[in-house]
Structure 1
Amino acid sequence: MDDETTHQLDTPLVIGGSGLVGGYIVEHLVRRRENVLALSRSPRTSAGVTWIRGDLQQPDTLTFAPFDTLYCTTDAILLADALPLILTPSIRRVVAFSSTSVLTKQDTEIAEEREIIRKLIGAEQTIAALCAQRGIGWTILRPTLIYAEGRDTNITPLSRLIRRFGFMPLVGGAPGLRQPVHAEDLAIGAIAAAGCPAAANKVYALPGAETLSYREMIGRLFDGMRRPRRLVSVPPWLWRVAFGTARPLYPTANVAMGLRMMKDMTFDATPAARDFGWKPRSFRPVFD
């Protein structure tokens, strides 16, 4: 997929420009020599970018120079709340990131997750409605499992567990299917979607190039660390018991995370490939 599009954008704004996907968007836009504006909560400087210090949670304090395309890689829920104060007559396109979790976690047993999903679905609807009211084209992108070696919060923490313990427990053998997607591919896809009329006013899943069992996905982490695969299957009932004991060590985890190893979470990339040339890389992570 080529990140050069036929429609040249004048001044894009990247909300979340210092984040994982947003950072790649900024990088690729600078390569195109666009006049990039980027929002960050902390002071930053970099060539080709006008950094704006601010917080999306306080949209009434934000002031931007005119821009025509908005990329938002941060919390879509916050964007939905702030959008009425951000949209201006100069804007032609909004590209916002959501998550395939709106589909895969609707039946989660964790009440907090169900509430987040409810809010995220509402945020997608709000973003689309606000843009439609103002005649602004919108595109909502739903990535699958995002990674970027050493930087992400999905795959990299698993590699650290492998490095620490030398093995990985897999609930029920972990047959559930996954499609990990690289953060840079998401950035390239977002830019392509922004410049593509066919992608206006649509929602897309953005899965990675390969569909792997969770077990094989973890196996490739071992491969990328040049370690022998040591995968231990754990019955679901034992996982529940063991998790209760180990939870103090991993306060941000929950029991459903392990149980989802048995659940398929796959999506069709055909619409994105057809409309804006979505073509992500294979999952072959390398860890130093």
Structure 2
Amino acid sequence: MTVLVFGASSQIGHYLLPLLAARDEPVFALSRSPRSAMPGVSWLTGQLPGKVPAVDGLSAIFSFGPLQPFADWLGSVALPHAPRVIATSSMSAETKRDSEVPAEREMSQTLRRGEEALAAACERHGSEWTVLRPTLVYGAGLDKSLTPIARRAMRTRVFPLPAGRGMRQPVHAQDLAFAALAALDNAASAMKILPIGGGERLPAAEMFARVRRSLPVDTLPVPIPAWALRLARHGVGRLRGPLSRLEADLVADNAQVIRLLGINPRPFRPDADCWG
């Protein structure tokens, strides 16, 4: 089996590459810039959609980046061995479908169009595919959601704690890597879009509180009450979407991931290593 990984330098790729290398099969990882050598992994330099070096005999492809460029590439190349395709999308495809912010509704539509394009490209090759739709991802210090909050708090020694009753279900990037690998080996997951969240649902306010408690330095907690959040939501345009979702449930049903892949994601118990 020869495997190609797009988004290999992402947080999911960070955990998946060692798992693939341990299988003692050829693994090629694509990055925009040269990377340090890794046992069992051959790094390629390239970029979607067009600048991708050819790899012969592909039997599996993983993608952890934007779906549409990957689907465009997939639909334009010859893949005679009909490789198995595993890709990640996002639960934002559903949770932002009816957002009050136009840009977020467009993001949801873009994700769903990407999923459809990927399925069509795979059908052209006769390839089986699986798409994972994760909730908020954390774990390797590479995310753009919780890690920036944690690092800003470590730098300023102040941690804002917004009120929020909406439920959250953060999923560790390593659990996503486990799920992606399980999908490769499990035919029952083929031709399916699988939601996946962490093993615990908790209010947004508690999620932020746990991030603060995980930091290696002391920070001053600054509670932000709901009334202040409402004012900011209507007064600061760029905050309208994120603040409006503090009272919304952003969760996933893990039933299919557990049943089909045997994956039980961990609860949200972050430590300092999660923030890099």
TM-score normalised per structure 1: 0.87
Structure 1 runs of 4+ aligned residues shifted over 4 Å read 226-230
Q: Give the conservation status (yes or no) of the 8 Å contact 1:13–1:37.
A: yes
- The percentage of counterpart residues that share the same residue type is 36
Partner of 1:268: 253
| Paired amino acid for 2:214 | G
**CA shift for structure 1 position 232:** 2.4
- Asked if the contact 1:150/1:287 (under 8 Å) is kept, the reply is no
How many equivalent pairs are there? 268
CA distance in 2 between counterparts of 1:282 and 1:113 reads 28
Aligned to 1:119: 110
1:77 aligns with: 68
**Offset at residue 185 of structure 1 (A):** 0.9
Partner of 2:159: 167
Distance 2:42 2:84 in 1: 20
- Looking at structure 1, the residues matched to 17 and 208 of structure 2 have their Cα atoms a distance apart, in angstroms, of 30
Matched, 1:62 2:53: yes
1:33 aligns with 2:24: yes
Structure 2: stretches of 5+ with no match in the other structure = none
Q: Are the structure 2 counterparts of residues 125 and 259 from structure 1 closer, same or farther at C-alpha, using a change threshold of 3 Å?
A: same
The answer for the alignment partner of 2:236 in structure 1 is: 243
Matches of residues 80-229 of structure 1 in structure 2 within 5 Å? 80-163=71-154, 164=156, 166-170=158-162, 173-225=163-215, 227=218
1:120-149 CA distance string (max 9 Å, x none): 111101111221233211001001000015
RMSD (Å), alpha carbons? 1.9
Segments of structure 1 that go 5 or more residues without pairing to the other structure are 1-9, 245-252
Q: TM-score, normalised by structure 2?
A: 0.90
Q: 1:183 to 1:270 in 2, by over 3 A?
A: same
TM superposition shift of 1:87: 4.9
Displacement after TM superposition at 1:204 (Å): 0.2
- Which whole-Å deviations, capped at 9, do the CAs of 1:235-283 have from their partners, x for residues lacking one? 2431235636xxxxxxxx5421122111111111011100011111121
1:6 corresponds in structure 2 to none
Q: 1:131 to 1:241 in 2, by over 3 A?
A: closer
Query: What is the CA distance between 1:165 and its match in structure 2?
Result: 5.2
